[in-house]
Amino acid sequence: MNALEEKLNRFVKYRISEEDVRLLIDHLKQKAPVYAPHNSGEASFSYELVEKSTDVVLQYPRTMQPIKKFFLPPKEVLLNFNIKDNTYSKPEVPEETRIFFGIHSYEMASLKRLDYSFTQGHRESNYISRRKYAIFVGISYEPDESHFSKSVGIDVEETEGFDLFLLKNDTGYFLLEITETGKKLLDGYKENLVPDREELKLEPLRFKSKIKYHHNRLPSVFDHVYKSKVWEKYAEICVGCGTCNLLCSTCYCFDIRDEVELDAEHGSRTRYWDGCMLNTFAEVAGGENFRGSLARRTRHRLYRKFRYITAKSEMLHCVGCGRCSHYCPVGISMTDIVNDLIADHEEKQKREKI
């Protein structure tokens, strides 16, 4: 038994059918609003409030927008103001219990990164209010050609952060009780279920996308590739659209803008997701731009994932969800960039030895 199997085998678990999973959703809906993946167009998925448990998609590769949208909304009014009287009010941020159902392990890992970003230094009330009472039900998934979370140290069956976890098996799912909160949620649901005592054995999952090095070695690779020519290689094809930032599970940079209503009296100070790949991101008065080239911006994006915050938080800030690769309009893949950097680094080391 490997360490992960050992950990999973310590949890109380039940064997349930897909039908039972839908009943579980109905059960949870009576406790709090439930958000789960839904179809949103062809081969596209999105987390939405569950109306009917039969609408929920249980097996899906990834949603387009990451789960951060519930804690750091794409658009968020920070203040409503009145220009004439110079007064404002801050919209109440509800601190409600919400259940997030059918969530993948890399999404949970991304929230751990965002938790870090919004609580180190200043503890931001808006984020924390939304996050505070959130409950998570995880689910295992089949990696597609863009997922590579295993390469950044996150197993498909990683249960950290979840309250309950659904592990797919050949007849349906194992339902695992991870936390006390999770256990309590099952009150009134599991009465007819008997804990399953069978020892779990995980199928070795085959990730099609991989980073060549163990994740522990990645930050040190980034100590040597700042001047690499790899940055130029990708900058040549990148169109600077910023999709890779906006859809990234762990990117949290934002813009703040004042917007005024037609009456020219009322308005709001609103924040929007922003991205360091966009060319105005670091521009200052006088037109000076400290990361004017796409090569510099690509480098900054990757250093933010693998080096800068990692040094302080001791976590890689890429969770291998593969969104940046999957949705990049010109097909730039995160694992390709990192593997090229590794190759470049190895070559340089070889040259230095000779």
Q: Which residues bind ligand SF4 (CB under 6 A)?
A: 238-244, 248-250, 277, 305, 318-324, 328-330, 332, 334
User: Closer to ligand FAD at the Cβ: 289 or 313?
Assistant: 289
**Binding pattern for the stretch 59-78 against another protein, x by CB under 8 A and - elsewhere:** -------------------x
Element housing 25 (H / E): helix 18-29
User: Closer to ligand SF4 at the Cβ: 50 or 251?
Assistant: 251
Report the alpha-carbon angle 28-30-34, nearest 5. 50
Q: CB under 6 A: which stretch of 50-58, 94-102, 258-266, 280-288 binds ligand FAD?
A: 280-288
What, of ligand SF4, another protein, ligand FAD, none, does residue 252 touch, CB below 5 to 8 Å by kind? another protein
* Interaction between residue 262 and ligand FAD (CB under 6 A): no
327 token code pair:
């949705």
Applying CB under 6 A, which of residues 41, 94, 287, 331 lies at the interface with ligand FAD? 287
Contact 146, 326 (CB under 8 A): yes
85 token code pair:
């009287």
Applying CB under 8 A, which of residues 5, 296, 315, 346 lies at the interface with another protein? 296
Residues 259-278 within binding reach of another protein (CB under 8 A): 260, 267, 269, 271, 274, 276
Residues 123-142 within binding reach of another protein (CB under 8 A): 123-126, 128-129, 131-132
* DSSP letter, residue 3: H
Residue given tokens 């390469």 in the structure block? 151
Residues 9-68 within binding reach of ligand FAD (CB under 6 A): none
Q: Judged by CB under 6 A, how many residues of this single chain contact ligand FAD?
A: 4
Nearest to 111 by CA among 246, 322, 252: 252
* Interaction between residue 264 and ligand FAD (CB under 6 A): no
Applying CB under 8 A, which of residues 94, 204, 286, 331 lies at the interface with another protein? 286
Residues 33-62 within binding reach of another protein (CB under 8 A): none
Contact 332, 126 (CB under 8 A): no
Tell me the closest approach of the beta carbon of residue 86 to another protein, in angstroms.
4
Report the alpha-carbon angle 167-170-172, nearest 5. 55
Helix axis angle, 334-353 to 294-306, nearest 10°: 90
Tell me the closest approach of the beta carbon of residue 281 to ligand FAD, in angstroms.
10
* Interaction between residue 162 and another protein (CB under 8 A): no
* Interaction between residue 3 and another protein (CB under 8 A): no
Applying CB under 8 A, which of residues 244, 281, 328, 337 lies at the interface with another protein? 281
What, of another protein, ligand FAD, ligand SF4, none, does residue 269 touch, CB below 5 to 8 Å by kind? another protein
323 token code pair:
């969104």
Q: How far is CA 79 from the centre of its chain?
A: 27
Q: Which residues pair with 283 in a beta bridge?
A: 289
Tell me the closest approach of the beta carbon of residue 289 to ligand FAD, in angstroms.
8
* Interaction between residue 305 and another protein (CB under 8 A): no
Contact 57, 37 (CB under 8 A): yes
Strands (E), 197-352: 254-260, 266-273
- Buried-exposed string 202-228: b where 16+ CB fall within 10 A, e elsewhere: eeeeebebebebebeebbebbeebeeb
Rounded CA separation 89/14 (Å)? 49
Q: Give the Cβ contact number of residue 258 at 10 Å.
A: 11
Q: Which residues 6+ apart lie within 8 Å of 151 measured at CB? A: 207, 209, 210, 211, 215, 320, 335
Residues in touch with ligand FAD (CB under 6 A) = 283-285, 287
Q: Which residues bind another protein (CB under 8 A)?
A: 78-79, 81-83, 86-88, 90, 112, 115-119, 121-126, 128-129, 131-132, 161, 226, 252-258, 260, 267, 269, 271, 274, 276, 281-286, 288, 290-291, 296, 300, 303-304, 307-308, 311
